[in-house]
Amino acid sequence: MIKNNLPKIRKHNAKRLGRGYGSGKGGHTSGRGQKGQKARSHIGVLFEGVKMKKSLIKRLPFRRGKNKFKARPSPIVVNLEVLNLLKSGSKVNVETLVLAGIVQKADAETFGVKILGGGELKNKLTVELPISKSAAKKVEKAGGTVSKA
């Protein structure tokens, strides 16, 4: 057995501040320096330190409710010109888009998919996804149908 290849089994915990002189970080200022804001209580998460600058919260658009700071996920956008990769007469849903390699399965299930009217459509398709008005007109013009799923 070689001593320098032994596995390390002792885990050294971090010193806890202000727990008495015996802890190694206790007594008078307990590793917080002398005076000032950081030496006293904690600083709020939203504190930015300058009065003149408008705070981040004030700069964000106003939203009501519990989840007002959580970002709303927007759906994955697929333009009509990309749907020309699909065969004529096929259905357009998440499964066919994943099989064609247009979207990734995990992202499509998380965020959803919406079809927008960018480009021209040449194939007859049956769309079973959320779709914009201009895209729906172009699908019907190409001979396809839009089913509200």
Does residue 112 surpass a pLDDT of 80?
yes
Does residue 140 surpass a pLDDT of 60?
yes
Output DSSP code: residue 92: E
Of 85, 82, 94, nearest in space to 127 by CA: 94
- Which residues does 68 contact at the CB level (< 8 Å), separation at least 6? none
pTM: 0.53
Is residue 26 very low, low, confident or very high in pLDDT (cuts 50, 70, 90)? confident
| Mean pLDDT across the chain | 85
> What domains, with CATH codes, occur in the chain?
15-70 (no CATH), 76-146 (3.100.10.10)
Q: Which of 14-23, 62-71, 72-81, 91-100 has the lowest mean pLDDT?
A: 62-71
Supply the pLDDT for residue 114: 92
Q: Tell me what the mean pLDDT of segment 38-48 comes to.
A: 80
Supply the pLDDT for residue 149: 55
Residue type, 83: L
For 64-78, how does the pLDDT look when each residue is reduced to its tens digit (9 = 90+)?
888 777 777 889 899
For residue 126, give the 3-state DSSP assignment.
strand
